[in-house]
Amino acid sequence: MANKPLILLIEDELAIRRFLRLALSSDSFRLEEAETGRKALLMAAQEKPDLVILDLGLPDMDGQDLLRQFREWLQVPIIVLSARDQEKQKIDALDGGADDYLTKPFSTGELLARIRVALRNANRISSGADSSTFEQGDLKIDFASRRVFACETEVHLTPLEYKILTLLARQSGRVLTHSFLLKEIWGHHNIQETHYLRVHMANLRRKIERDSAQPKHILTEQGIGYRLASE
Amino acid sequence: MANKPLILLIEDELAIRRFLRLALSSDSFRLEEAETGRKALLMAAQEKPDLVILDLGLPDMDGQDLLRQFREWLQVPIIVLSARDQEKQKIDALDGGADDYLTKPFSTGELLARIRVALRNANRISSGADSSTFEQGDLKIDFASRRVFACETEVHLTPLEYKILTLLARQSGRVLTHSFLLKEIWGHHNIQETHYLRVHMANLRRKIERDSAQPKHILTEQGIGYRLASE
DNA sequence: TTGATTCCTAACTATGTTTTTAAGATGATG
DNA sequence: CATCATCTTAAAAACATAGTTAGGAATCAA
């Protein structure tokens, strides 16, 4: 957030884009616009906005899907706009990672106030940390494109392996317990199956460690869980 | 946030209190209620809620005033309820420190979803900030990564050793009796096996003391127990 | 249907941890 | 200063946890 926060507006209707352009690109914000979900994903990865305003009713993609895709790697606040005032949709969006939900028509004043709230929260959370990529020694994760590099080359991870690795990376340094990992990845039914972890950790290490017998990234805490090296 | 988050509901109308009591005090939340602003301020200070729901239209105090008073010292999210859908009031509340604003009538589902969003944000904030460590002379414990440093290097502790050390560290300076330590670590069956302690204390000292014959950290109180030096 | 991919299963090996045992050191007490 | 209880240390035995590997079921796209 160099100076003015950058807002990414994702909205297909020209009229509303015009309206919001007037309201937002004052002297307090910079504004980028995308008319489609596909373009929005690209722009979010490139421009690293400080906040996203997302209209749920895009023509090319399902809004909930798009929201979910964003939330796999994007940490910044997302304010959802929607023409429909349906309770279920609201709840799904909020639980799917949206920070706020506004039903059209809304006043610019309210939208601006809610943007200020979202940015206020975001500032408290991460002062400056760019979390769309993780880098540690020869290991690099690009969350936006879901790609992982290690030992000077790109490595291919299965969906499960990627999920495990990103869980560890998002809290790198911290020890994640067996039960936490099992619950997050396999659900609470499988909270006992620690051997799932063992085999997948072994596979992950084979892919991202120089010497999987002496792991430098994925460290095990006997009897407790695993931790991704940081620093 | 011990287990279930504690919500403080500030609302004068009995009907709405009843309604929200039903909606909120399910198995996910604990609920405290206050009918007046004065009582609310007292309760918030005493009970340390994880989230506040504040009706702006209280009889004894101006809502905006109350909100401002809360925000002078209260960090937790505040969700504002109001009967009126006035833009100015909304903006004032949001800029005054409220995290969300709901106009009556609203659905319980939406309220619950917005509570989840607020708690989610609050959790991200507090979990990022807690990088709690213990430090005493050349001994350092990082609780998040479960790492221990002594004599200028990282030392590897077994789960048992780590548990013993953190028990001592969390109450450093205080003497922990044999029976207390045995009960905490091995359970009350083994409350007699003081030699367990001796063996593991010896191992711990070998790892974290410069000279285990003259321990500077783990001090023994003959016939009583052990104590971790402080200051 | 085939082939590729991913994930689970299970048996096996390797490594680490805890308990047991026992001998030597220290400190308190009369 | 002799004795007893308490503590330290070391090392082996018993136990628990983690890593490796490969085969086969399930899924999915060509």
Pick B84 or B217 by higher pLDDT: B217
Task: Give chain B's end-to-end CA distance (angstroms, integer).
Answer: 31
- pLDDT above 50: residue A128: no
pLDDT at B128: 55
**Residue B164 buriedness (CB in 10 A; 0-12 / 13-18 / 19+):** buried
pLDDT above 90 (res B220): yes
Residue of A nearest to B101 (CA): A114
8 Å CB contact between B71 and B44: no
Nearest CB to B113: which of A95, A114, A117?
Answer: A95
* Confidence band of B131 (pLDDT split at 50, 70, 90): low
Q: Span A74-98, mean pLDDT?
A: 91
What's the pLDDT at A85?
Answer: 79
Between A59 and A180, where is the model more confident? A180
Cis amide prior to A59 (ω within 30 degrees): no
Residue B125: predicted pLDDT: 67
Nucleotide nearest to B195 (CA to C1'): D7
In this complex, which of A95, A107, A175 lies closest to B146 when CB atoms are compared? A175
In angstroms, the separation between the Cα of residue A19 and the nearest Cα of chain B is 18
What are the tens digits of pLDDT across the range B192-206? 889 999 999 999 999
Q: Check residue A28 and give its pLDDT.
A: 85
CA distance B73 to A219: 41
Residue from B75, B91, B130, B160 whose CB has the most chain A CBs within 10 Å, to mutate:
B91
Of the candidates B95, B117, B128, which has its C-beta nearest A113's C-beta?
A: B95
- Taking the C-alpha atoms of residue A37 and residue A33, their distance in angstroms, rounded to an integer, is 11
Q: How confident is the model at residue B38, as a pLDDT?
A: 92
Gap between the Cα atoms of A126 and B125, Å rounded: 8
User: Which segment of A50-54, A68-72, A212-216, B115-119 scores lowest on mean pLDDT?
Assistant: A68-72
Give the per-residue pLDDT at B127: 63
**CATH, range A133-228:** 1.10.10.10
Confidence of residue B85 (pLDDT cuts 50, 70, 90): confident
Nearest 10 degrees: Cα torsion A160, A161, A165, A168 = 60
Mean pLDDT, chain B, integer: 91
Q: Do A90 and B100 touch (CB under 8 A)?
A: no
Contacts for A71 with CB less than 8 Å, ≥ 6 apart: A78, A96, A97
- Amino acid identity of B23? A
- Domain range summary for chain A, segments of one domain joined by +: 6-127, 133-228
DSSP letters for B116-153? HHHHHHHHHHHHHH---EEEETTEEEETTTTEEEETTE
Q: Which of B141, B195, A39, A46 is nearest to A54 (CA)?
A: A39
Residue type, A47: E
Strand residue runs (E) in chain A: 6-10, 30-34, 51-55, 78-82, 100-103, 133-136, 139-142, 147-150, 153-155, 175-177, 218-221, 225-228
Q: What pTM, to 2 d.p., does this model score? A: 0.78
**Where is pLDDT greater, at A27 or A98?**
A98
Q: Which nucleotide minimizes the distance between its C1' and the CA of B190?
A: C19
Residue nearest to nucleotide D8 (CA to C1'): B202
| pLDDT at residue B228 is higher than 60 | yes
Sign of the torsion formed by the C-alpha atoms of A142, A67, A31 and A5: negative
pLDDT at A105: 87
Strand D contact with A159 (CB < 7 A): no
The H or E element containing residue A208 is helix A194-208
Residues 163-192 of B with CB under 7 A from strand D: 178
Give the C-alpha separation, A65 to A71, whole Å: 10
Architecture of domain A6-127: 3-Layer(aba) Sandwich (3.40)
pLDDT at A129: 53
Residue A229 has pLDDT above 50, yes or no: yes
The pLDDT score that the predictor gives to residue A3 is 76
CB-CB under 8 Å, A222 with B145 = no
A215 band by pLDDT with thresholds 50, 70 and 90: very high
Secondary structure class of B97 (helix, strand, coil): coil
Span B4-36, pLDDT tens digits: 899 999 999 999 999 999 888 776 899 999 999
Smallest Cα distance from A134 to chain B, Å? 16
Asked whether the predicted pLDDT for residue A64 surpasses 60, the reply is: yes
Lowest mean pLDDT among A24-28, A31-35, A112-116, B175-179: A24-28
CB contact under 8 A, B159 and A87: no
Q: What percent of chain B has pLDDT over 90?
A: 75
The residue type of B102 is L
Interface residues of A toward B, Cβ cutoff 8 Å, are: 87-88, 90-91, 94-95, 98-100, 107, 109-110, 112-114, 116-117, 121, 124-126, 173-175, 221-224, 227, 230
Residue entry with tokens 């593991």: B200
Angle of CA points B67, B72, B77, to nearest 5°: 60
Question: B146, A222: Cβ pair inside 8 Å?
Answer: no
Q: What is the pLDDT of residue B130?
A: 55
Provide mean pLDDT across the span A181-191. 92
> pLDDT tens-digit profile of B99-121?
999 998 899 999 999 999 999 99
The one-letter amino acid code at B140 reads K
